[in-house]
Amino acid sequence: MSDLKAKKLLILGGSRISCEIVKKAKDMGIYTLVTDWYSEERSPAKKLADKAFMTSTADVSAVVDLIKKENVDGVITGFTDSTLAYYAQICQQAGLPCYGTKEQFETLTNKRVYKKLCRDFGVPVIDEYFINENIDTADLKGIKYPVLVKPADNSGGRGISICNNEQELITAYKKALSFSESKEILIERYITGKEVTAFYILQDGNTYLTAMANRHIKHNQSDTIALPVAYTFPSKHLIEYQKNIEPNVKKMFESLNMKNGMVFMQCIVKEDQCLVYDIGYRLTGTLEYKLLDAVCGYNPLEMLIRFALTGQMAKFPLKEKVTPQWDEYGCNVSFLIKPGTIEEIKGIDEILEIPGVIDAVLAHTEGDELPDSAKGTLRQIVLRVFAKTQSENELEKLLDTIYNKLTVLSSEGENMLLEGFDTEEIRGALC
């Protein structure tokens, strides 16, 4: 990494998960800067960075001025859709590398737009219903319940509701509107079943499938969508996906002229067919790059940092290393908590000492308050643990060991942890 030493990287957004970008960049010898309009208390990555600013990521001209003033060599953004369009404009005006264009980001952050694109290229998606903003009751008559109502342009589980009747749909539609800048709402058939996530990396116009994970979700709260409690790799659905869907996905990306970066696609599995319901052209909170680094020997986060500073994803052709058929088994376990104030978190050091554990990443710390409004969103994740083993049986035992170590107590002395992943689900789910 000597060619990047002392280069200056500006990170747009300082949320806790963006600390991962700052840490990795520092490991690579890079000088880090973070900007957004939040204080350090709400923007923890600022505390880790070499330098921090209060310039809003949405103020494109001000960020460009900051880049020039600080002699910044590259810009990167992280784990949410909301900053992507600004990131593209900032890079364009500052003359710095950007792995995507504003038009590509706008296409792949609007669920209605990319679902149409998927249908055009034969990539299966979940059926949906269309109603106008005035909610004409005539439009509601043909809807079969349950349905999922969500903003077309938001992520992280925000603004999503499950509806079992007309009145619930009307209420949910209005709720979703409050989370949608474009005021576009999707109403989809609510399908339950196994889930998978496909991960891609792009280099100079070549698209590579890096992994497919089983996305294990848990219905452990009433009146909310199920949230992920674990990802296990590689999925038994991988071969069928590679045969029937992956070629169409590559054509779809080519149609958008996508050249570099990384993409994830979340799917429901119905009758052995993967139905896409979410796409992200960015880093994802699953932090699967930690597993790819440990199991496969390359790190997409490092690649995105390198691209930001040089316009090149890697010094080697990715096809030399990329294969979704892993030689080892991996997992990412997510611990969910109830709303409340965190008084104490215990067991992380013990988890990190377990053979096979790669890393553990906190999403909240002691003293943080999780409001009721966070219920049913990814904000309920308090900790992610990454591990790998040589066999399915070892992975199941390892997960049981991890689960017995963590304790999260509220300011009232109550256990905040929600019911977690049933490790028996691993059996028969992996390649």
Are the beta carbons of 124 and 274 closer than 8 angstroms? yes
Are the beta carbons of 40 and 16 closer than 8 angstroms? no
Domains of the chain plus CATH, in order, are 2-98 (3.40.50.20), 127-189 (3.30.1490.20), 195-426 (3.30.470.20)
Q: Can you give the pLDDT at residue 344? A: 97
Which DSSP category does 430 fall into?
B
Q: Can you give the pLDDT at residue 61? A: 98
Question: pTM score, two decimals?
Answer: 0.92
Structure tokens at 269: 């599995």
Structure tokens at 61: 């001209």
Are the beta carbons of 67 and 87 closer than 8 angstroms? no
- Give the contacts of 404 (CB within 8 A, at least 6 positions apart): none
Are the beta carbons of 190 and 204 closer than 8 angstroms? no
Please work out, in degrees rounded to the nearest 5, the angle formed at the alpha carbon of residue 120 by the alpha carbons of 116 and 121.
120
Are the beta carbons of 385 and 330 closer than 8 angstroms? no
Instruction: Note down pLDDT in tens along the chain; length 431 residues.
Output: 578 998 999 999 999 999 999 999 999 999 999 999 999 999 999 999 999 999 999 999 999 999 999 999 999 998 999 999 999 999 999 999 999 999 999 999 998 899 999 999 999 999 888 877 677 666 777 888 999 898 877 766 678 888 899 889 888 888 888 888 878 888 888 888 899 999 999 999 999 999 999 999 998 888 788 899 999 999 999 999 999 999 999 999 999 999 999 999 999 999 889 999 999 999 999 999 999 999 999 999 999 999 999 999 999 999 999 999 999 999 999 999 999 999 999 999 999 999 999 999 999 999 999 999 999 899 999 999 999 999 999 999 999 999 999 999 999 999 999 999 888 889 889 98
Q: Can you give the pLDDT at residue 1? A: 53
Residues 103 and 21: their CA atoms lie apart, in Å, by 25
* Cα radius of gyration (the chain): 21
For 213, the 3-state DSSP assignment is strand
Residues 241 and 237: their CA atoms lie apart, in Å, by 6
Residues 213 and 386: their CA atoms lie apart, in Å, by 13
- Give the contacts of 206 (CB within 8 A, at least 6 positions apart): 318, 319
For 346, the 3-state DSSP assignment is strand
Query: Closest Cα partner for 144 from 166, 160, 171?
Result: 166
Q: Can you give the pLDDT at residue 64? A: 98
Q: Listing from the earlier edge strand, what are the strands of the sheet with 74-77?
A: 51-53, 31-35, 8-12, 74-77
**φ, ψ (nearest 5 deg) of residue 382:** -100, -30
Which residues is 53 bridged to in the sheet?
Answer: 35
Using a 10 angstrom Cβ sphere, with 0-12 exposed, 13-18 middle and 19 or more buried, the burial of residue 142 is: exposed
Q: Can you give the pLDDT at residue 431? A: 84
Q: Can you give the pLDDT at residue 156? A: 61
DSSP secondary structure, 249-298, as one string: HHHHHHHTT--SEEEEEEEEEETTEEEEEEEESS--TT-THHHHHHHHS-
Q: How many other C-beta atoms can be found within 10 angstroms of the C-beta atom of residue 141?
A: 8
Q: How many other C-beta atoms can be found within 10 angstroms of the C-beta atom of residue 27?
A: 11
Q: Which residue has the tokens 């709402």?
A: 185
Q: Can you give the pLDDT at residue 333? A: 96
Structure tokens at 73: 């060599």
Regarding beta strands 195-203 and 147-151, do their DSSP bridges make them parallel or antiparallel, or are they unpaired? unpaired
Q: Can you give the pLDDT at residue 173? A: 87
Are the beta carbons of 89 and 25 closer than 8 angstroms? no
